Amino acid sequence: MAPRAPLDPLTGLEAARFGVYVHFPYCLSKCPYCDFASTAARTIPDERYTAAILAELEGRLEAQQLTGREVTSIFIGGGTPSLWAPASVAKVLEALRSKLRVAEGCEVTLEANPGASDAGRFADYRAAGVNRLSMGVQSFEASTLATLGRAHDGATAARAFEAARRAGFDNVSMDFIYGVHGQTLAQVESDARRAVALGSEHLSAYALTLDKASLAEEVPLARQLARGEVSLPPDDTVVRMQRVVRDVFAAAGLQRYEISNYAKPGFHSRHNALYWTGGEYLALGTGATGHLRATAPFRYSNQRSAEKYLLEVEAGRWPEASREELSGLELFEERVAMGLRLASGVDLAAVCALFGQDFASRALTVRHLLSAGMAEQREGRLALTDAGFDVHSAIAARLM
Amino acid sequence: MPSENAHIRNFSIIAHIDHGKSTLADRLLEKTGTVNDRQKQAQFLDNMDIERERGITIKAQTVRMHYKALDGKDYVLNLIDTPGHVDFAYEVSRSLAACEGALLVVDATQGVEAQTLANVYMAMEHDLEIIPVINKIDLPSADVERTLNEIEDVIGLDSSTAVPVSAKEGVNIDKLLEAVVKLIPPPAGSKDDPLKALVFDSWYDNYRGVVMLVRVVDGEVKIGQKIKLWSNGKTFEVQELGVIAPFPTAVKSLMAGEVGIFVANVKELADAKVGDTITDAERPTAAPFPDFKEVQPMVFSGVFPVDAADYDNLRDALTKLRLNDSAFTWEPETSTALGFGFRCGFLGLLHMEIVQERLEREYNLNLISTAPSVVYKVFPHGKEAIFIDNPSKLPPTQNIEHLEEPYLICHIHVPNDHLGSILKLCQDRRGIQKGLEYLGTTGTRCRVTYEMPLAEVVFDFFDKMKSISRGYASLDYELGGYKEADLVKLDILINGEIVDALSIIVHKDRAYLRGREVCEKLKAVIHKQMFEVAIQAAIGSKIISRETISAVRKNVLAKCYGGDISRKRKLLEKQKEGKKRMKQVGVVELPQEAFLAVLKSEE
């Protein structure tokens, strides 16, 4: 059953308006491209971390007066959340249900690593209230997986998917990476075909990003790239790879609804849609970023070091590393830039009106984009075409 | 010699850039106690930020110093600092006309360099007593002997009076002050003659109106006196007189031989022309100073706000700048590509750069300037000749009988070693040789005279001349009238549309080369766009060159979730800021440099 969330009138997308993000930072090993807050740990301080999450939740609910608020999505990301004891996950979800009003049909996602999961665990997660699994497959090809430093192989990934199904997950997503050094167009196509053959409801396919300015932290592959030890495929090739992925996914009934996301009808991620439609999100855990507007709009990010995070929370201190107040202009810019990531597009005139920005001065750019085939009007919204998505940043910077 | 001004010495400092003029001036101010330690500010005379940064003096400055000489007498020394660029040659000549002497500063580690030569010759023409000052003698590589020889050989100046100094270390500054007192003659004028004063600089002060720097040559000027400006016959009442020592200090009168500030309720800077003569309204002097000329803008360029909303701010800024710089002119201009802006006239390229830099810096404006153009004389069929200062205004070729362009008579001083390359440069720039003479006793340097199209001189001639002569060639020039030439308009098309602001007028023989150069330059400065960009050069409907800029293939962040949004927004904001400095022409964003791409050549 597909989850439910309210419709965002500016993008026409069903999107959570208030969600909770919980970060679990621990991994068995650290992948060389990953810029998420993660810690490779031999032993995971499961109870200690769970207690910290619950304590942070307590503190934030009180400080932001969020108790009793309706939640339309929950996302447990990482790191490798499938290393988190199902009982602990159950405890966290239970705490959320008791303190907040978790809506009917609320999407509850947990990220799983194919190499660190089994069907028994999945059933327990399912029983705890998780109704969507997002699996970091990345590729089925041994060479690509090796390049990306992934421990699992293609067969393991397929088995993990089947395990999820057996555990009762009828909403499973898989993540893929293309544009990897050494990867061929044929390999990308093969990955896409094997992905759709498994029949998941949702797929994400990301072009490998090693651009320093775009990353949250420096990653080993980016350093290798800078030193000239690896070189990524040319932009033209990466764009061709995206087209192959798009075509294979589309033929299987998964439509591109965001720059890197594809879903069967009704199965797009309500939680991620929240990010692209200016929704609010409470964030808990290491390196987690939240965005709340209860008083003045602001965004905060927690300590990226797991140990530091734990020590701060245990000492009764705020585990934040930074906090940023957001002006009306910044909220506007984000709404435009994020909305343009969506295939449904964004009602630019309405966003301008909502944030008191001038639409007329942007109209000429819109006309240029339309006439150049970079954008289309879809149900009164400005939506980028595939050609437009390729240069989303350049377009967003023009319309912001 | 009138006794009342026997204690006055008026002099300026002539120096090659970096040879230590400003440092020497600072030392003189300190040694005479004119500035104390608290007021010390490196390069006291160069007030404007742009002057300090570029190491040049744009406006004349003057400062009065008191000095007790070894003879026990008290002297008043007026240092008149002069601008140091060919664009301001006229201002230099007026400043020198206000002096009886000049210090020629030469770097003992570099020897004589040519940049100063034009000013030295100008000083000689004004019969100034020139004292060579050999600077930087503290440096191990200083060669005083060789420098003295060069002064004799290259300049043809007696070096026996030279004073070796180190301005940086303050060595021999006292000897130099003694030399100033002994060698530079006191002013000759008499206090009892009718008033005759020279305006050698003027500027606009928000509170006092026009302020002039004057040198009183004859007679005396007093507060309340009715005076007349010779060039326009207007009369004014003197309201304020002062000297700068080093801060403005009011005085009741200025007599023959003195230099000072003059304020007389003059409202328009245009009324206070440099070189003009001030005299008594009732008892005028017999004749004005010779060589007075109205300064005319020589090059014109369009100045447009990047953001159309800044138009009014730009107009206000131009109005204010013009109050302080009457040599610069402006009027509204409309461009298809750039919208509403202004056509501005300048003395030369440096003047243009300075004005544009001041507009951007002091008025915080984001501007686009088009390539400078000279004023062409167009003879349409059966009609009277018209002047155009904007290539986009040139009528279609079939309507033109012929075209004329302005020429300069250029005098170039150059050591023999570099003569060949200078002759080639002048030849390349369509110069017509008018004379070549060897100077001095040894004949190691010469003076060549060329008639050259102003447009060619404007087009980075000065920089080229300097670089091929390793700085040894110097240029001065006078206007040389108009001459017929085979000129065409070179248009630049971006994606098939003519961008009027990029049009230039070039000689027919150069059109192909310039067309190709401009297209290549544009390709280099225009960033990749979301669309393919075609750059073409055309004469009339004939395309003579083409370059293509391919489209950006990929510019997108694959992953964008909760923790990425702020970082992504900041990246996009940066991209957006970058675009603010671009001018959108059709679908193409052109950077500011694109409009000047036609200016420099790669020869």
* A241-279 per-position pLDDT tens digit: 999 999 999 999 999 999 999 999 999 999 999 999 999
CATH of the domain at A105: 3.20.20.70
Domain C-terminal end among A237, A258, A276: A276
The beta-carbon neighbor of B562 closest among A21, A206, A213 is A21
B563·A301 Cβ contact <8 A: yes
**What is the rounded average pLDDT of the residues A280-308?**
95
Q: How far apart are CA B438 and CA B154, in angstroms?
A: 11
Q: What is the 3-state secondary structure (H, E, C) of chain A?
A: CCCCCCEECCCCEECCCEEEEEEECEECCCCCCCCCCCEECCCCCHHHHHHHHHHHHHHHHHHCCCCCCEEEEEEEEECCHHHCCHHHHHHHHHHHHHHCEEEEEEEEEEEECHHHCCHHHHHHHHHHCCCEEEEEEECCCHHHHHHCCCCCCHHHHHHHHHHHHHCCCCCEEEEEEECCCCCCHHHHHHHHHHHHHHCCCEEEEEECCCCHHHCCCCCHHHHHHHCCCCCCCCHHHHHHHHHHHHHHHHHCCCEEEECCEEECCCCCCHHHHHHHCCCEEEEECCCCEEEECCCCCEEEEECCCHHHHHHHHHCCCCCEEEEEECCHHHHHHHHHHHHCCECCCECHHHHHHHHCCCCHHHHHHHHHHHHCCCEEEECCEEEECHHHHHCHHHHHHHHC
Cα–Cα nearest to B366, from B341, B337, B390, B348: B341
Cα–Cα nearest to B502, from B306, B300, B311, B335: B335
Q: How far apart are CA B232 and CA B224, in angstroms?
A: 20
Task: Tell me, yes or no, whether A25 and A173 share the same domain.
Answer: yes
- pLDDT-derived band at B1 (thresholds 50, 70, 90) equals very low
Q: pLDDT of B547-565, one tens digit each? A: 999 999 999 999 999 999 9
Question: What integer pLDDT is reported at residue B47 of this predicted model?
Answer: 52
Q: What H or E segment, with its residue span, contains residue B452?
A: strand B445-453
Q: pLDDT of B315-335, one tens digit each? A: 999 988 887 777 889 999 999
Mapped onto helix, strand or coil, the DSSP state of residue B24 is helix
Packing angle, helices A392-399 and A360-371, rounded to 10 = 150
Phi-psi region of B170 (alpha: psi -120 to 50; beta: other; left: phi over 0): left
Cα–Cα nearest to A321, from A303, A298, A299: A303
Residue B25 or A179, more confident: A179
Question: What integer pLDDT is reported at residue B353 of this predicted model?
Answer: 85
Domain membership flag for residue A195: yes
Q: pLDDT of B139-159, one tens digit each? A: 999 999 989 988 888 788 888
Query: What would the two tokens of residue B243 be?
Result: 């000297």
- The range of the structural domain enclosing residue A39 comes to 18-276
Mapped onto helix, strand or coil, the DSSP state of residue B549 is strand
Residues of A in contact with B567 (CB under 8 A): 214, 216
Task: Tell me, yes or no, whether A332 and A269 share the same domain.
Answer: no
Percentage of chain B beyond pLDDT 90 is 55
Question: What integer pLDDT is reported at residue B54 of this predicted model?
Answer: 52
Tell me the β-bridge partners of B105: B15, B133
Task: Tell me, yes or no, whether A143 and A241 share the same domain.
Answer: yes
Domain C-terminal end among A276, A295, A311: A276
- pLDDT-derived band at A86 (thresholds 50, 70, 90) equals very high
Domain membership flag for residue A12: no
B37 Cβ contact partners less than 8 Å away, ≥ 6 residues apart: none
How many independent structural domains does chain A possess? 2
Query: What would the two tokens of residue A34 be?
Result: 């990953």
**What is the rounded average pLDDT of the residues B564-582?**
90
Task: Tell me, yes or no, whether A237 and A119 share the same domain.
Answer: yes
Mapped onto helix, strand or coil, the DSSP state of residue B167 is coil
Residues counted in chain B: 603
Q: Are B83 and B58 within 8 A, CB to CB?
A: yes
Domain membership flag for residue A2: no
Domain membership flag for residue A373: yes
The beta-carbon neighbor of A259 closest among B556, B569, B584 is B556
Residues of A in contact with B583 (CB under 8 A): none
Task: Tell me, yes or no, whether A245 and A352 share the same domain.
Answer: no
Q: Are A374 and A389 within 8 A, CB to CB?
A: no
Domain C-terminal end among A241, A257, A276: A276
Cα–Cα nearest to A281, from A100, A39, A135, A54: A100
Whether residue B456 has pLDDT greater than 80: yes
Task: Tell me, yes or no, whether A263 and A368 share the same domain.
Answer: no
A393·B557 Cβ contact <8 A: yes
B564·A400 Cβ contact <8 A: no
The beta-carbon neighbor of B554 closest among A36, A238, A337 is A238
Residue A21 or B416, more confident: A21
Phi/psi for A306 (5° steps) reads: -60, -45
Question: What integer pLDDT is reported at residue B38 of this predicted model?
Answer: 58
- pLDDT-derived band at B603 (thresholds 50, 70, 90) equals very low
Question: What integer pLDDT is reported at residue B421 of this predicted model?
Answer: 95
Q: How far apart are CA A249 and CA B486, in angstroms?
A: 65
Q: pLDDT of B234-285, one tens digit each? A: 999 999 999 988 788 899 999 999 999 999 989 888 888 889 999 999 999 9
* DSSP secondary structure code for residue B562 in this structure: T
Task: Tell me, yes or no, whether A80 and A147 share the same domain.
Answer: yes
Question: What integer pLDDT is reported at residue B268 of this predicted model?
Answer: 84
Q: What H or E segment, with its residue span, contains residue B21?
A: helix B21-31
Task: Tell me, yes or no, whether A66 and A169 share the same domain.
Answer: yes
Answering whether pTM is above 0.80, one says no
Q: How far apart are CA A386 and CA B521, in angstroms?
A: 33
Tell me the β-bridge partners of A383: A376
The number of C-alpha atoms within 13 Å of B562 and in the hemisphere containing its C-beta is 35
Give me chain A's average pLDDT, please. 95
Domain membership flag for residue A359: yes
A389·B556 Cβ contact <8 A: yes
Task: Tell me, yes or no, whether A245 and A367 share the same domain.
Answer: no
The number of C-alpha atoms within 13 Å of A322 and in the hemisphere containing its C-beta is 11
Burial class (CB in 10 A: 0-12, 13-18, 19+), B424: exposed
Question: What integer pLDDT is reported at residue B441 of this predicted model?
Answer: 61
Whether residue A64 has pLDDT greater than 60: yes
Domain membership flag for residue A320: no
For chain A, the distance separating the N- and C-terminal CA atoms, rounded to the nearest angstrom, is 37
Mapped onto helix, strand or coil, the DSSP state of residue B17 is coil
- pLDDT-derived band at A117 (thresholds 50, 70, 90) equals low
- Whether the CA torsion A150, A152, A155, A156 is positive or negative: it is negative
Q: How far apart are CA A178 and CA A138, in angstroms?
A: 8
Q: Give me the long-range contacts of B313-321 (CB less than 8 A, separation at least 24).
A: B313/B363, B313/B365, B314/B341, B314/B342, B314/B359, B314/B363, B314/B365, B314/B367, B315/B342, B316/B363, B317/B359, B317/B362, B317/B363, B317/B365, B318/B342, B318/B344, B318/B359, B320/B363, B321/B355, B321/B358, B321/B359
**B587 contact A CB<8A:** yes
Question: What integer pLDDT is reported at residue B290 of this predicted model?
Answer: 86
Phi-psi region of A224 (alpha: psi -120 to 50; beta: other; left: phi over 0): alpha
Burial B151-177 (b: 16+ CB within 10 A, else e): bbbbbebebeebbbbbbbeebbbeebb
Place of tokens 């959340």: A81
**B527 contact A CB<8A:** no
Q: Are A117 and A82 within 8 A, CB to CB?
A: yes
Residues of B in contact with A208 (CB under 8 A): 558
- pLDDT-derived band at B440 (thresholds 50, 70, 90) equals low
Mapped onto helix, strand or coil, the DSSP state of residue B27 is helix
Residue B297 or B206, more confident: B297
A334·B565 Cβ contact <8 A: yes
Q: Are A303 and A287 within 8 A, CB to CB?
A: yes
Cα–Cα nearest to B434, from B420, B448, B444: B448
Q: What is the ipTM of this complex?
A: 0.94
Domain membership flag for residue A302: no
Contact pairs from chain A to chain B, CB under 8 Å: 105
Residues of A in contact with B559 (CB under 8 A): 206, 209, 260
Residues of A in contact with B571 (CB under 8 A): 213-214, 393
Query: What would the two tokens of residue A208 be?
Result: 């490998």
B565·A390 Cβ contact <8 A: no
Q: How far apart are CA B200 and CA B213, in angstroms?
A: 6
Work out the angle at residue B178's Cα, subtended by the Cα atoms of residues B176 and B179, and round it to the nearest 5 degrees: 65
Closest residue in chain B to residue A386, using alpha carbons only: B554
**What is the rounded average pLDDT of the residues B71-83?**
89
Cα–Cα nearest to B359, from B299, B413, B311: B311
Max Cα–Cα distance, chain B, nearest Å: 89
Residues of A in contact with B584 (CB under 8 A): 364
Query: What would the two tokens of residue A245 be?
Result: 């992925």
Question: What integer pLDDT is reported at residue B102 of this predicted model?
Answer: 94
Question: What integer pLDDT is reported at residue B602 of this predicted model?
Answer: 53
Q: How far apart are CA A346 and CA A97, in angstroms?
A: 32
Whether residue B597 has pLDDT greater than 90: no
Task: Tell me, yes or no, whether A232 and A354 share the same domain.
Answer: no
Q: pLDDT of A319-345, one tens digit each? A: 999 999 999 999 999 999 999 999 999
Mapped onto helix, strand or coil, the DSSP state of residue B427 is helix
Question: What integer pLDDT is reported at residue B485 of this predicted model?
Answer: 94
Give me chain B's average pLDDT, please. 88
Whether residue B46 has pLDDT greater than 60: no
- pLDDT-derived band at B114 (thresholds 50, 70, 90) equals low
The beta-carbon neighbor of B560 closest among A238, A341, A400 is A341
Query: What would the two tokens of residue B285 be?
Result: 């002097």
Q: Are B117 and B127 within 8 A, CB to CB?
A: no
**What is the rounded average pLDDT of the residues B527-546?**
93
Q: Are A6 and A273 within 8 A, CB to CB?
A: no
- pLDDT-derived band at B60 (thresholds 50, 70, 90) equals low
Task: Tell me, yes or no, whether A237 and A91 share the same domain.
Answer: yes
CATH of the domain at A338: 1.10.10
Q: Are B100 and B9 within 8 A, CB to CB?
A: yes
Alpha-carbon distance B139 to nearest alpha carbon in chain A (angstroms): 44
Domain membership flag for residue A281: no
Residue B602 or B557, more confident: B557
When scoring A242, A272, A392, A395 by the number of chain B Cβ atoms within 10 A, the one with the most, hence best to mutate, is A392
Q: Are A352 and A366 within 8 A, CB to CB?
A: no
Q: Are B132 and B159 within 8 A, CB to CB?
A: yes
A332 Cβ contact partners less than 8 Å away, ≥ 6 residues apart: A351, A352, A354, A355, A357, A400
Task: Tell me, yes or no, whether A94 and A171 share the same domain.
Answer: yes
Question: What integer pLDDT is reported at residue B313 of this predicted model?
Answer: 95
A275·B559 Cβ contact <8 A: no
Place of tokens 């140990």: A307
